[in-house]
Chain A
Amino acid sequence: MIGPALALSLLVSALATAVVALAGTASGRLVARSRFRGREIADALCHLPLVLPPTVVGYGLLLVFGRNGWIGGTLRAVTGFSIPFTWVACVLAAAVMAFPMMHRAARAAFEGIDRRHEMAAASLGASRLRSFLTVELPLARRGLTAGVTLAYARALGEFGATLILAGNIPGRTQTLALAVYESVIAGEHNTALVLSVMLSLVSVAALLLVARLSRAS
């Protein structure tokens, strides 16, 4: 039970973090720098998974990505693949729940850059893409790294949304956090303890990394 759960948790968190790192950097940059109608609403929506109960997020995901959901139904009709109760569902749930962490960190990181750096880069002939890649990204690096780390920790600890969208199938969708739940329900306190310590160690390591990064900046 412990081995597969740990492996799944590490895999799911890594994949979810990779997706969130890209999406959160893009959304954070957009909200920090672009002026468009509905910018504040977009920012609020990006924060939603942070304030809603995870079960509500999971249920929402089920409505959208479920067998008969808007996206899930189409996907099943076209490819025959159904998202719920697969490892893909675990990744999806973890990514959505971890997304606000990355979005907030990225937004703050980009807002913290003196705009005159971008003006200087442009006056030196740099395109927007080059300015983003060679000036903004390096200057936002510490904040973005902190966001990635927090997102990873959040994805690792994801429980409620995963339970609803992916279920709790040992060996298939049972992550560490779900395994702890099952152990406690089944009265296997030694297993629960081992799992909890493992989760705690990984999370503390992630938080120490964040602290070190923010101290360095």
Chain B
Amino acid sequence: MSRLAADLVVTPPANPAGSGFSLEASLAADPGITILFGHSGAGKTTALLALLGAMRPQTGRISLGDRVLFDSSKKIDVAVRERRVGIVFQDALLFPHLDARANVAFGARDRAGNSAADAWLERVGALGLAHRKPAELSGGERQRVAVARAQAAAAVRLRLAEPGSALDAAPDLLLLDEPFSALDPAAREHLGSLLLELQAGARVPFLHVTHDPAEALRLGGAMLVLEAGRVVAKGTPTALLAPGGLASDRLDATNWLRGTVVADGDDGGRVDLGGTVVLTGRLHRAPGKTVVLALPAEEPIIATDPARGTSARNILAGEIAAIVASADAVDVIVATPALLRVRVTRAAVSDLHLAKGLKIFLLVKATSFRVVG
């Protein structure tokens, strides 16, 4: 069981002095997946490199469980190779001159290294690829091997100290730097399931960097929102990304919705969004599974009467929770009770006399919901 707690002030050296970017953030992560959410330039990679030990903070403190990895006031700076922090980079970045097994076995220097490597390759479903070079693997396969490589190193080191299963141990902290960004949807789905399985068994934090709301909703139990080097919000992805949540106003006008599959069949699926069951297109997912849906805010139609004779499969009764006006449009936040963001024109607001507390109906086509995670 280890918990990450970091207070960091980092000015990347590559930045010319005076350009202004610095990371000043407090990051905390319990065992399980914590999403570090932010757009490019927000300081996500700087934070990861500081935790890894590859970039030295000006001041700060990093602790992992009861181990202090960095403390500027006590002049503690544990070397990268002794931190027991694993990393998976955006593009997997396996050693290109080594095959998959040799990559995974790199951190395993004892004679049993190969057997631990094989156990991890099997765990990530890549044992059959052991003899392939990274160039001969698909993007998804490379990422799975990279996850196995990061996990296996610490496993072997710990096993030397206390014999046990090769799979029991893991690094004390696993950093994932946008591991999904180069993958197609099927490979994302596969890697996502793998990460969820691994974190369920591990007792260490996984810090997962992404700017994709669907990925955050699918994987994250907790989320930190990073903007211009500062943590601007923290909470659960569901709360932060819900319409009106702290992170959602910073996104494009899309409803990112996490739900549970109720039913799925040729006639379409049914998803529980937390109190609101909606009809969707075919989901290809078993009942009880988690699903992430995207609904563009422009798609739902607001009606003051329940409409009849429409092709919209969802007619949801709701109440206006808030009206947020921006320069070009107005976003109506509707509690159905699940919150949905609906983008309309100013004219629509005045013609229908929309106001907070008004009871209305939302018309949403089943096909407007896209399955994104």
5 A-B pairs whose Cβ atoms sit less than 8 Å apart in the complex? A123-B52, A125-B109, A126-B81, A126-B106, A134-B106
Kindly state the separation between the CA atoms of A138 and B97 in the bound complex, as whole angstroms: 7
- Contact in complex: B93, A116 (CB < 8 Å): yes
- Contact in complex: B52, A119 (CB < 8 Å): yes
Chain B residues near A126 (CB, 8 Å)?
81, 106-107
Known: A122-B81, A123-B150, A125-B157. A139 touches B52 (CB 8 A): no
B21 at the interface (CB under 8 A from A): no
Q: Provide the B91-133 mask, 1 if CB < 8 A to any CB of A, else 0.
A: 0010111000000001101000000000000000000000000
The SS class assigned to the A binding surface is helix
B166 at the interface (CB under 8 A from A): no
Interface residues of A toward B: which range?
Answer: 10 to 19
Which 6 A-B pairs give the minimum distances between C-beta atoms?
A124-B107, A122-B80, A124-B153, A138-B97, A119-B54, A122-B81
CB-CB contacts below 8 Å: B72-88 with A: 79-83, 85-87
Q: How many A-B residue pairs have CB under 8 A?
A: 56
Q: Which of A114, A116, A124, A139 contacts B106 (CB 8 A)?
A: A124
A135 at the interface (CB under 8 A from B): yes
A196 to chain B, nearest CB (A): 40
- Contact in complex: B107, A125 (CB < 8 Å): yes
Chain B residues near A117 (CB, 8 Å)?
93, 95
The SS class assigned to the B binding surface is mixed
- Contact in complex: A135, B80 (CB < 8 Å): no
Chain A residues near B82 (CB, 8 Å)?
125
Kindly state the separation between the CA atoms of A33 and B339 in the bound complex, as whole angstroms: 52
Chain B residues near A135 (CB, 8 Å)?
95
Kindly state the separation between the CA atoms of A114 and B89 in the bound complex, as whole angstroms: 12
- Contact in complex: B89, A116 (CB < 8 Å): yes
Chain B residues near A123 (CB, 8 Å)?
52-53, 80-81, 83, 85-87, 150, 153
Q: Provide the B153-189 mask, 1 if CB < 8 A to any CB of A, else 0.
A: 1000100000000000000000000000000000000
Chain A residues near B53 (CB, 8 Å)?
122-123
Q: Provide the A23-56 mask, 1 if CB < 8 A to any CB of B, else 0.
A: 0000000000000000000000000000000000
Known: A123-B80, A126-B81. A139 touches B153 (CB 8 A): no
B149 at the interface (CB under 8 A from A): yes
